[in-house]
Structure 1
Amino acid sequence: MFTARLSIDQYRQVGIATDVAQASPHQLIVLLFDGAIAALQQARHAIAHQDADTRRRATSKAMRIIDEGLKAAVSSRGDAALAANLNALYDHMVGRLFQANARGIEAPLAEVGQLLEQLRSAWVAITPRPLPQSQAVRA
């Protein structure tokens, strides 16, 4: 069983690495959202099963993805107010996750999960459309 589990985990890691290597910058943000949401789901499951170590690891992982991935990717080249608001929202999320981790409570995890789902949906909605083949050749 352990060998099969190890093989599955290694296969999953190869799949993730392939997804990242082939992703556009826009798709990389979606992958960050997916990773943070998955970590929060794992943390919520750990709380339900009173697994404090997994809860701490998963919550910390979500915090790092938000702070070092999503927040770091915010560009100030466009609307400065939008960038500031998004950074403030990410700071709020990290703060709520810190509370969840410190107290071992589920409500902040659910709150941040909903916020991430909404942001992910909005991000997916603005996915750049590929150029038609005739325009791509001229560019």
Structure 2
Amino acid sequence: MGFGYGAGAYQQVRSHGGVESADPHGLITLLMDGALERLVKARAHMLRGEVAAKGEAISRCIEIIGGLRGSLEPKADPVLVGRLDSLYDYMSRRLLQANLRDDASLIDEVSNLLQPIRDSWVQIGPAAQAAAGVQARP
């Protein structure tokens, strides 16, 4: 399972002030990395029986996914946006179930859904910048 992949990058950028200097594409990446980081933490808390910490991590992840839903631009591609909106809604519901049922497999499911979206999002960043004629930042 690769859900630890983005968490380190999120933590590094967050601790070095990346939020203030990130472009909109970078901010969405940070949100996804933050959600993935919370999923790793929630799973660990769940396995250790730390109910309050698990609930807090899951709640924060649901909030981040809500932020991702809120950032969708319906005019860009209504079909794709509709599918992403439904998927984000599904992820939030699965996380609620994971919390109620104390089911780590549901956290894994959400991680396995979010990670490829994050990876694809990261890949389209440079391509979109190149198409727009924008120089990538070092």
Asked if TM exceeds 0.5, the reply is: yes
CA RMSD of aligned residues (A): 2.2
How far is 1:70 from its partner?
Answer: 0.6
Q: Which residue of 1 aligns with 2:33?
A: 34
Unaligned ranges ≥5, structure 1: 1-11
Query: Given residue 19 of structure 2, which amino acid in structure 1 is its aligned partner?
Result: V
Query: Given residue 57 of structure 1, which amino acid in structure 2 is its aligned partner?
Result: E
Q: Which residue of 2 aligns with 1:113?
A: 111
C-alpha distance in 1, partners of 2:30/2:108? 19
C-alpha distance in 2, partners of 1:31/1:52? 26
C-alpha distance in 2, partners of 1:49/1:17? 30
Unaligned ranges ≥5, structure 2: 1-10
Equivalent of 1:123, from 117, 121, 124?
121
C-alpha distance in 2, partners of 1:87/1:113? 16
C-alpha distance in 2, partners of 1:59/1:87? 19
Larger Rg computed on CA atoms: 1
Q: Which residue of 2 aligns with 1:61?
A: 60
> How many positions carry a matched residue from both structures?
122
How far is 1:124 from its partner?
Answer: 0.6
SS at match of 1:38: helix
* Percent identical: 36
C-alpha distance in 2, partners of 1:101/1:17? 32
Query: Given residue 61 of structure 1, which amino acid in structure 2 is its aligned partner?
Result: R
1:1-139 aligned at under 5 Å gives the runs 15-16=14-15, 18-67=17-66, 69-129=67-127, 130=129
C-alpha distance in 1, partners of 2:14/2:63? 21
Structure 1 consecutive aligned stretches of length 4 or more whose deviation exceeds 3 Å:
14-17, 128-131
C-alpha distance in 2, partners of 1:16/1:76? 32
C-alpha distance in 2, partners of 1:73/1:87? 10
